[in-house]
Amino acid sequence: MNAISAQEKYELVIGLEVHAQLATRSKIFAADATRYGQEPNTQISPITLGHPGTLPKVNKKAFEFAIRMGLACHCEITRYNIFDRKNYFYPDLPKGFQITQDKSPICVGGYVPIKLQDGRTKEVKLNRIHLEEDAGKSIHTEDALDTLVDYNRAGTPLIEIVSEPDLKSAEETTAFLAEIKKLVMFLGICDGNMEEGSLRCDANISVRLIGSEKLGKKVEVKNMNSFRNVSKAIEHEFHRQVQLIEKGEEVISETRTFDASTGTTAGMRTKEELNDYRYFPEPDLSPVVISEEWLDSIKKNLPKLPREYYDEFTSQFSLPDYDASFLTETSEMAEYFVRLAAKTSNYKAASNWLMGPVKSSLNELACKIDSLPISVDDLAGLIALVESGEVSFSAASQTIYPVLLKNPGKSPRAIAEEMNLIQQSDESSLIPIIEQVIKENPKKVKEYKSGKKGLLGMFMGQVMKKSQGKADPKVTSKLLSEILDQK
């Protein structure tokens, strides 16, 4: 079956389980540090390893971070929380069980709005967000016969964001993931780094006939550390499952791993049923009760979210969708624009500068906007120079801006004056130059008068050359047209 007929006959149904490592300084049930990249097995303790006689203790900050995410996702916050043991025996799970939330997740229901490429908005329904601890990490080296285990990550607090099977395409899935990443970063609860594993995604993928209400057998795909890999895995699974169904073969409900080098998935193990985990209440942890006072305090201190910035940028500042989407990629960029907009009324120009020269320099410097050497005041001053016509945009972006990067605190006007970049916009000083250019090109004047209006660019070039690039292009073009039409 070709791709077009498959897409006409079958539809994808996708549910995501997104794990976000919470940015607490210590683990969820122990005081061990959670710093990334430390020497293996240097951030562990008897509590993390589950030694006999040790008792876990709940990290309050982890609860606060989980509640922040729940509020941002319109969830109902569970007031009475009980932890459970999820039993399974992998080498990277030191206790032989994982402490998680089964019966009473901290956040229930909710939704996450996403925006699609065709401009549509969809509210992706959530099933739950629950707290749990991370496992360790198995390390497979090429020259060793054994598998090594690093338990540094074990016990790091996680929230697992579980969507309903509400996603219908790779585009919707990556848009949902991108929104989750923005939310956790704006909330300050996770750095969103997929390469380092602080944001990870498992996808439950199935296919069914279009119009059918019955869900197909779902396959869980793990080992995806980028939006692109998630998209490729979904596309591969769609075609693989459709081919099996068309051949009359059964889709096995299993866990599969994704190989980024080939863009394919491979079976790991049959999918466990919930009863295989033998969940039971964690006997070493008391219930955690969320008081109304604490919940209200978290609500009051919730930072501004990406969609709030987006609405402000499109309504108050009249920015296009593309600009507002770019400016809300990170909280640092959104806040920088807000501060810049307080210094200039040319909001579109401010946005253009951030999307153009500033973005390029951030990429070159490998830094975020809050580390940009140029202050908001100086960038606003540079915008004002261009807006007033005193400096061309090309001179501002290609000459003055690079000097500002190397000399933070120096005035843009002072740089423009030192480098002789202030444009001539005074008509009385430009008219003699224009008259001289016209006098030197009588044949071109006749051609222009005969209808070759494209020659205006040639005259402009000559004026710019004689003025050493300081003639204001707008004023010069207007004067040139007027004087030439009078000849």
Q: Model confidence over 48-78: pLDDT tens digits?
A: 999 999 999 999 999 999 999 999 999 999 9
Average pLDDT over residues 405-411: 90
Residue 270 confidence (pLDDT) above 90: no
**Percent of the chain surpassing pLDDT 90:** 70
pLDDT at 302: 96
**Whether residue 169 sits in one domain with residue 51:** yes
- The domain tally of the chain equals 3
**Whether residue 70 sits in one domain with residue 13:** yes
Which DSSP letter does residue 305 get? P
Q: What average pLDDT is seen over the chain?
A: 91
**Whether residue 311 sits in one domain with residue 167:** no
**Whether residue 457 sits in one domain with residue 330:** no
pLDDT at 451: 80
**Whether residue 407 sits in one domain with residue 331:** yes
Average pLDDT over residues 224-243: 93
Among the ranges given (180-194, 351-365, 423-437), the one the predictor scored with the smallest mean pLDDT: 423-437
**Whether residue 308 sits in one domain with residue 282:** no
Q: Which of 359, 388, 418 is the last residue of a domain?
A: 418
Residue 432 confidence (pLDDT) above 90: no
pLDDT at 431: 79
Q: Which residues pair with 35 in a beta bridge?
A: none
**Whether residue 152 sits in one domain with residue 122:** yes
Average pLDDT over residues 458-481: 78
Please state whether beta strands 254-259 and 219-224 pair in parallel, antiparallel, or not at all (unpaired): parallel
Q: Are 180 and 18 in contact (CB under 8 A)?
A: yes
**Whether residue 203 sits in one domain with residue 148:** yes
Residue 463 belongs to domain spanning: 427-486
Residue 413 confidence (pLDDT) above 90: yes
pLDDT digits (tens, 9 = 90+) for 335-351: 999 999 999 999 999 99
CA distance 455 to 447: 8
pLDDT at 283: 95
**Whether residue 333 sits in one domain with residue 273:** no
**Whether residue 257 sits in one domain with residue 110:** yes
Where does 172-318 show beta strands of DSSP type E?
Answer: 199-209, 219-224, 254-259, 264-270, 280-281, 288-289
Closest CA to 180 of 223, 140, 129, 138: 129
**Whether residue 70 sits in one domain with residue 195:** yes
pLDDT at 272: 60
C-alpha distance from residue 75 to each of 15, 24, 110, 315 (Å): 17, 22, 4, 27
Q: Which residues pair with 75 in a beta bridge?
A: none
Contacts 24+ apart (CB under 8 A), 225-230: 225/194, 225/195, 225/197, 225/200, 226/194, 226/195, 226/260, 227/174, 227/177, 227/178, 227/194, 229/258, 229/260, 230/170, 230/173, 230/174, 230/177, 230/201, 230/203
CATH number of residue 479's parent domain: 1.10.10.410
